Structure 1
Amino acid sequence: MKDKGLLRIILCILIIMLLTSCWNRRELNELAIVTGIGIDKAPDKEEYEVTFQIVNPSSTATSTGANTGQSTTTVYSTTDRTLFGAFRKTSKKTARQLFFAHTQLVVIGEAFARSGINEIFDVFERSHELRLNSTVLVSRGVDANAVLKILLPIESLPAIGMVKKAKNTAKIWGENKNINIFELINEITGEGEVAISGIRIIGDREEGKKKASLEQTEVKAILSINGLGVFKKGKLTAWLEGSEAKGTLWVQNKIDQTIVNIDTENMEASVAVHINYSKTDINVELQGGIPVFHVHIQEEGKVNETRGFVDFSSADEIMKLEEQLAEHTKEEVIQSIQAAQRLKSDIFGFGNELKRLRPKEWEAVKEQWDSLFAQGKLDIRVEAYIRGTGMRLKPYMNKDQFN
């Protein structure tokens, strides 16, 4: 019995010695924390140009004396045939190993996006170092490299500031969508096409790189979420703006909140309705070999402002506004679908819906779906309800004062 007990003790000691513990640990002061990644096409090469926005810890620390006058981030760029190769090749320029656990943003350069993006996300799925929930944006008019070099007021880390902008405007304005890498891969591998929000530099790019530009009330350059990029077979083909972009989000059931301005008898776009609920159902069927897109939208909102006289105590006036609201939404949806049909790019997932509901019919038409989508007929139905008028019914000015 004693021999068995001794044997057990020896075995336990051997097992403990074999435990690897923190064999792959990396000290914080040995890491370069990456908050944003930019992907461009290298000039005159069949290579990627990959840009990394890296946190400068001495400038972001909150302790006394941490302000060194340096920028909060540093940007490095490297070219290579593969993205992962560029990740590792950057070690020639940085004193620390890149650490991607806090990467919030991936920016794709417009020129590169027009050449095709479908293959670039493979490394994000394979590597345990990269995040699939990073927001994706496409730069407009400039390379991704230039976007990541712009410093932002309020937010000390520009990449995080850009992500907040993308999420905020998608939530309360509704002309742009917030999409991450995981969602983008699902769309690429589905039966439809992809739409990604754009980001534009407004102002002086060179001044926007300097920390001194932030030391004034009006900065020299800002980054603005702008437009919705439409892709065809992985290549950026066009940009949707304004009503066409918002209509796209209506169809995709991505509207959380938005504002719709409705006309009155005496003034155009004078009643602001805050949409705080929206739900879209779509159905696709074939009639005589031509697809019919049935889109049913239910929306609710409240009046937040009026520049003309409207008596909101009148049920007839409320019903009239609801009809105008429904018509306005319907028009935006029609504009967006017709724009996509001109591009032969099914960014709404109508093909996915036909495949889900009627798989046999889908098999018969999937090879010709691009041309059939462009010929598709529209059946748009919108139900709009105004649920409130704010803190008062009638405007504080009477009808004569508005004339």
Structure 2
Amino acid sequence: MKVKMRGCLIAYLGLSLSLTGCWNSRELNELAIVSGIGIDQGTKPGEYKVTFQVVNPSATATSQGANNGASAITIYTSNDHTVFGALRKTSKQASRQLFFAHTQLLVLGESIAKGGISGVLDIFERSHELRLNTAVLISRDTSAASILKVFTPQESIPSIGLSKKIQNTSNVWGENQRVDVFELINKMTGEGGFTVSGLRMIGNVEAGKKKSNLEQSEAETIITMGGQAVFKKGKLETWIDGPEARGTDWILNKIIETNVDIDAGEQKKAVAVNVLLSRTEVKVELREGFPVFHVNVSEEGNINETKSSVDLSKNEEIIKLEEAMEKLTKAEIEQAFQAAQQTGVDYLNFGNELKRTHPNAWRTVENEWDQIFAKGTLDLKVEAYIRGTGMRLAPFMSPEK
């Protein structure tokens, strides 16, 4: 028995000696955790200027960083003809190897977007180091590097704050939508154009990159959402804002929640309706060689505020408000549709819908789709329903009976 046990022990030891560990394993204290990446045009033709926002663990783990004045982030910037080359070249500045498992944000500069972003995204799909679920935003009227340098209120890591900001406004306002790298690559391989949400800087970058930007009740420099960038064949064509942006998301069935201020009789923008549910169905057909876009929207919401004297206990008044809600939604969708036709870019996904449902018809128009799309007609129907009126029926200034 002892001989058998001794033999098993020897075999076990021999087996353990033959096993190897992870040959490329790295300790956490040897890594620089990248929270955000920014890509701009380089200083030389054909070069990228790549900015990395790196987390400073000692300043974020405890309150020690705040006491000793340490910044929660460090910025590294490198220029190279490839993104990967710039990544590796950063080793000349950083004492730790860049680590991308927790990267929250990719900001593409307006300059690089105008020249085309297809080459920039190749590394994200090809490399195992980079994440496909990283949120993508376009810097507007400023560089991606400037965006990443600004300290943001509420979040110690700016990239995390910006990633949460796009998700938050997407959930409750509807003029912007979160797009990650994987979705963006799929959009680029589809038919027609597409949109990506933008970022704007209000204030001065020099003031924004100082911690003192956060040491006051109102930050001197802030980053805000800045419309949607319209792309055609991977290149930035134009920007859409306000009703055009929200109307676009209505057509694309991307509205989660939003608010509409509707008229109540002669009183303009007097009632605030919180849209809680929105569904859009799209069908495309060709009639005598020209497209007809059938868009049906159904929406539901609650009245959250009113400045009007309308008595919400009366069903006929609710019906009038629903009609006003339908009118406003129609106006924004029509405005978005007209903007797309004037641009000559089908970023409303109509071409993909025609290709999916009528592939034979699509083949007859795909080579001239942008021109044909611009001559199409919109068949729009909107149905609105007001679920509730809140805790009160009678107008605030009128005595309740």
**Structure 1 length as normaliser, TM-score?**
0.95
State the shift of 1:265 in Å. 2.1
State the shift of 1:327 in Å. 1.3
Matches within 5 A, 1:223-302: 223-302=223-302
Partner of residue 333, structure 1: 333
Q: Aligned partners of 2:45 and 2:262: how far apart in 1?
A: 52
Is the CA contact (8 Å cut-off) linking 1:302 and 1:388 kept in structure 2?
A: yes
Amino acid at match of 2:28: L
Tell me the secondary structure at the aligned position of residue 238 of structure 2: strand
Q: Aligned partners of 2:245 and 2:71: how far apart in 1?
A: 35
Is the CA contact (8 Å cut-off) linking 2:65 and 2:71 kept in structure 1?
A: no
Task: Tell me whether 1:351 sits opposite 2:351 in the alignment.
Answer: yes
Structure 1 gap segments, 5+ residues each: none
Q: Aligned pair count?
A: 399
Tell me the secondary structure at the aligned position of residue 272 of structure 2: strand
State the shift of 1:24 in Å. 2.1
Q: Aligned partners of 2:368 and 2:13: how far apart in 1?
A: 67
State the shift of 1:23 in Å. 2.5
Tell me the secondary structure at the aligned position of residue 88 of structure 2: helix
Partner of residue 136, structure 1: 136
Structure 2 gap segments, 5+ residues each: none
State the shift of 1:341 in Å. 1.1
Q: Aligned partners of 1:281 and 1:357: how far apart in 2?
A: 13
Identity %: 54
State the shift of 1:21 in Å. 2.5
Task: Tell me whether 1:177 sits opposite 2:206 in the alignment.
Answer: no
Q: Write the deviation string for residues 6-48 of structure 1: whole angstroms up to 9, x where unpaired.
A: 9987776554333333332211111110000000011232111
Runs of 4 or more above 4 Å deviation: 2-15, 63-66
Matches within 5 A, 1:110-129: 110-129=110-129
Is the CA contact (8 Å cut-off) linking 1:59 and 1:67 kept in structure 2?
A: no
Q: Aligned partners of 1:18 and 1:77: how far apart in 2?
A: 43
Matches within 5 A, 1:2-17: 13-17=13-17
Partner of residue 205, structure 2: 205
Partner of residue 23, structure 1: 23
Is the CA contact (8 Å cut-off) linking 2:42 and 2:79 kept in structure 1?
A: yes
State the shift of 1:182 in Å. 0.7
**Structure 2 length as normaliser, TM-score?**
0.95
Is the CA contact (8 Å cut-off) linking 1:58 and 1:67 kept in structure 2?
A: no
Partner of residue 104, structure 1: 104
Amino acid at match of 1:365: V
Q: Write the deviation string for residues 107-132 of structure 1: whole angstroms up to 9, x where unpaired.
A: 00011111111221111111111111
Is the CA contact (8 Å cut-off) linking 2:132 and 2:180 kept in structure 1?
A: yes
* Structure 2 CA distance for partners of 1:30 and 1:113, relative to 1, 3 Å: same
Q: Aligned partners of 2:63 and 2:238: how far apart in 1?
A: 47
Partner of residue 315, structure 1: 315
Task: Tell me whether 1:362 sits opposite 2:362 in the alignment.
Answer: yes
Q: Aligned partners of 2:77 and 2:334: how far apart in 1?
A: 43
Amino acid at match of 2:35: T
* Structure 2 CA distance for partners of 1:66 and 1:289, relative to 1, 3 Å: same
Tell me the secondary structure at the aligned position of residue 199 of structure 2: strand
RMSD: 2.0
State the shift of 1:193 in Å. 1.4
Task: Tell me whether 1:394 sits opposite 2:394 in the alignment.
Answer: yes
Amino acid at match of 2:194: V
Q: Aligned partners of 2:79 and 2:313: how far apart in 1?
A: 65
Is the CA contact (8 Å cut-off) linking 2:105 and 2:160 kept in structure 1?
A: yes
Q: Write the deviation string for residues 142-184 of structure 1: whole angstroms up to 9, x where unpaired.
A: 1101000000121100000001111101110111111111111
Tell me the secondary structure at the aligned position of residue 269 of structure 2: coil
Tell me the secondary structure at the aligned position of residue 160 of structure 1: helix
Q: Aligned partners of 1:309 and 1:231: how far apart in 2?
A: 45
Tell me the secondary structure at the aligned position of residue 179 of structure 2: coil
Worse overlay, 287-296 or 19-28: 19-28
Worse overlay, 245-254 or 338-347: 338-347
Q: Write the deviation string for residues 307-366 of structure 1: whole angstroms up to 9, x where unpaired.
A: 111111111111111111111111111111111111111112111111110111111111
Tell me the secondary structure at the aligned position of residue 268 of structure 1: strand
Is the CA contact (8 Å cut-off) linking 1:58 and 1:66 kept in structure 2?
A: no
Worse overlay, 357-366 or 59-68: 59-68
